[in-house]
Structure 1
Amino acid sequence: PEARTRLLSGGNMQKLILGRVLERSPGLVLACQPTRGLDVGAVAEIHGRLLAARDRGAGVLLMSEDLDELFALSDRIAVIYRGRLTRPWPAEHLTIRALGLMMAGQEPADAA
């Protein structure tokens, strides 16, 4: 099986690894750029699997540069700025503009 997995494309390898991890129903999922470079169908599948893990009670820590992905999957959003983690905000209280301010090291005034 190892020889066959080496023949997979980067995207298929990414899907295989995430599938193997989520199959075990972990209590915590750390996902760094889980959909980067994947096709739209694979992105939807991975988003669904991450949300299902959350719904089963798993903690899901998502690190992504894709702001749409962050807003679609997150309950709370925090930013790492100059090596420090900002306080997490409820995703429904943030806007793209407020998130941009956080990324620039400012506290978003319009987030409640």
Structure 2
Amino acid sequence: REQILKERDKGASVLLISEDIEELVALSDRLAVICKGEIMGVIDKPEEVTPEVLGLMMAGTSLKNIQKVSA
């Protein structure tokens, strides 16, 4: 985990694949959620998204559909 943060802080791009939502939010500047080969959405500010929204996206609900229901 420390090495990932060091590389990120140096400006390197890091591809992190995990089901651990807390880890993803803690280590990421931006998140893309993929389910069954399809991008469900891209989160530009991971610290502002709820675990529930990420869970829905991981289960196959697109970010656009989540935002429509929330509006």
Answer yes or no: same fold by TM over 0.5. yes
Aligned equivalent of 2:40, options 86, 93, 96: 86
Q: How many residues align?
A: 64
Q: What residue number does 2:19 align with? A: 65
Q: Following superposition, which runs of at least 4 residues in structure 1 exceed 3 angstroms of deviation?
A: none
- Which residue number in structure 2 is paired with residue 97 of structure 1? 52
- If asked which structure has higher relative contact order (CA below 8 Å, sep 6+), I would say 2
Q: CA RMSD in A?
A: 1.5
Aligned-pair identity (%): 48
Structure exhibiting the larger radius of gyration computed from Cα positions: 1
How far apart are residue 94 of structure 1 and its match? 1.0
TM-score by length of 1: 0.51
- Structure 1 residues without counterparts, runs of 5 or longer: 1-46
